[in-house]
């Protein structure tokens, strides 16, 4: 409720993200402690590679959004096409490090 007063609907989003991470962390801890979930080294390495790819994509999309900020303010077809291009670029930027890091996908 504190976040909602200060950040409006963004407070709900932030609170949901925080609670889901807390829930996931506790669930992971309990499953590991009870030896129900045992992660292999390859799984951990793949998760790290995916995290690296996600960080690279996030940074690239941040800079692309900054670069095209003026176009995003327009009300035209160029705005839609630019957004589609940025989304497609994000996909390519995410998939490229996955293949370069030789991430094993099932």
pLDDT of residue 9: 82
pLDDT in tens, the chain (106 residues): 777 788 788 888 888 999 999 999 999 999 999 999 988 999 999 999 999 999 999 999 999 989 888 887 887 888 888 889 999 999 999 999 999 998 887 7
pLDDT at 72: 77
Q: Residue 36 has what DSSP assignment?
A: S
pLDDT of res. 36: 94
Beta carbons of 60 and 93 less than 8 angstroms apart: yes
Residue 35, phi then psi, degrees to nearest 5: 55, 35
What is the model's pLDDT at position 24? 96
Cβ-based neighbours of 98, under 8 Å, separated by 6 or more? 49, 50, 53, 105
- Radius of gyration of the chain measured on its C-alpha atoms: 19
């Amino acid at each position: 409720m504190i976040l909602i007063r200060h950040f409006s609907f963004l407070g709900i989003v932030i609170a949901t993200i925080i609670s889901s991470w807390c829930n996931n962390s506790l669930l992971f801890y309990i499953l590991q402690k009870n030896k129900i979930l045992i992660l292999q080294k390859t799984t951990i390495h793949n998760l790290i590679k995916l995290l690296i790819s996600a960080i690279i994509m996030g940074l690239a999309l941040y800079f692309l959004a900054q670069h095209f900020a003026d176009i995003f303010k327009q009300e035209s077809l160029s705005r839609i096409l630019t957004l589609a291009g940025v989304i497609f670029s994000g996909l390519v930027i995410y998939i490229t490090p996955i293949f370069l890091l030789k991430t094993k996908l099932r």
